[in-house]
Amino acid sequence: MNQPSNVDSQEISKFDRVARLWWDTDGKMGMLHVINPLRTRFVLDQAPLRQSRVIDIGCGGGIFAEALAEAGAKVVGIDQAQQTLEIARQHATKSGLAIDYRLQTVEHLVTQEAGSYDVVTCMEMLEHVPNPASVVNACARLLKPGGHAFFSTINRTLKAFLFAIVGGEYILHILPRGTHRYNKLIRPDELRKWSATGGLEFVSIASLMYDPLAKHFRVVPGKEDINYMACFTKKD
Ligand code: SAH
């Protein structure tokens, strides 16, 4: 199969190499488990999920997709990492959740299912693709009018470089080395610009602030710090 254009195969292999660790809460993906309840709450506070059609872009092993399904959403998850998707499928079965996992890109999916989702989520994924603006645009087109899009990523600032890359990957070892590259990080104003181009209206932003001593995150609404999440809505 030809490699779809907006996919970085090195990034995909990086995730597939640790595929069996997605659900190990003490392992390399542990940080995603720590932040999962906080990001789930951010979505639930702004979009009703019960019986909603939700698509999770770059779903990985399904940590976030399962939380959305548990909240009552009908969830589709797409990713480009095959082994990772297999782990996601197996885990959903174990959890008794009917999640539809597909090996697809959002750019391809939107040619088939534009305008058919109530909620699109794309968490910690934009910083791993060659062209994040293209992903945001396709996410916008997947939404029904009035639907919600949620993105989370890491800011491209000196502080983020020092804390998320140097601190997180090399000093505290809370993220695997090589997880993030500075020039791939995304500033909130860039995310807002791409979203506006796709016809999305900005709703809110919040940051996950980490206390390394307490090993604890909290959500600070309105803050554009290192690890941030933003909500947008599609114009009617
Ligand atoms: N969203 C999940 C996983 C984040 S890790 C969570 O937050 O828990 C980033 C994921 O994006 C990986 O699983 C990786 O395989 C996937 N990914 C990277 N590029 C992609 C692309 N172009 N299309 C779909 N998935 C992609």
48-99 per-position pLDDT tens digit: 999 999 999 999 999 999 999 999 999 999 999 999 999 999 999 999 999 9
Better pLDDT: 206 or 30: 206
Quick check: is 213 in a domain?
Answer: yes
From 2, 5, 15, 28, the mutation candidate for ligand 1 (largest count of ligand atoms within 8 A of CB) is 15
So what's the pLDDT on residue 2?
A: 58
So what's the pLDDT on residue 3?
A: 65
Task: Domain of residue 86: give its range.
Answer: 9-153+184-234
Mean pLDDT of 225-234: 96
So what's the pLDDT on residue 14?
A: 93
| 54 pocket-lining for ligand 1 (C-beta < 6 Å) | no
Quick check: is 176 in a domain?
Answer: no
Q: What percent of the chain has pLDDT over 90?
A: 81
Quick check: is 173 in a domain?
Answer: no
The answer to whether the beta carbons of residues 226 and 157 sit under 8 Å apart is yes
Q: Specify the pTM.
A: 0.95
Judged against a pLDDT cut of 90, whether residue 179 lies above it is answered with: no
The answer to which of 68-82, 115-129, 161-175 has the lowest mean pLDDT is 161-175
Better pLDDT: 213 or 153: 153
* CB < 8 Å & 24+ apart, contacts of 75-82: 75/99, 75/100, 76/100, 76/101, 76/102, 77/101, 77/102, 78/102, 78/103, 78/104, 78/105, 78/106, 78/109, 79/103, 80/4, 80/7, 80/12, 80/105, 81/12, 81/15, 81/16, 81/19, 82/16
Number of structural domains in the chain: 1
The answer to which of 56-60, 95-99, 121-125, 176-180 has the lowest mean pLDDT is 176-180
Quick check: is 208 in a domain?
Answer: yes
Quick check: is 227 in a domain?
Answer: yes
Ligand 1 centroid to Cα of residue 181, in Å, is 15
| 64 pocket-lining for ligand 1 (C-beta < 6 Å) | yes
Quick check: is 172 in a domain?
Answer: no
d(CA 222, CA 219): 9
Quick check: is 178 in a domain?
Answer: no
Quick check: is 63 in a domain?
Answer: yes
Q: What is the CATH number of the domain that holds 198?
A: 3.40.50.150
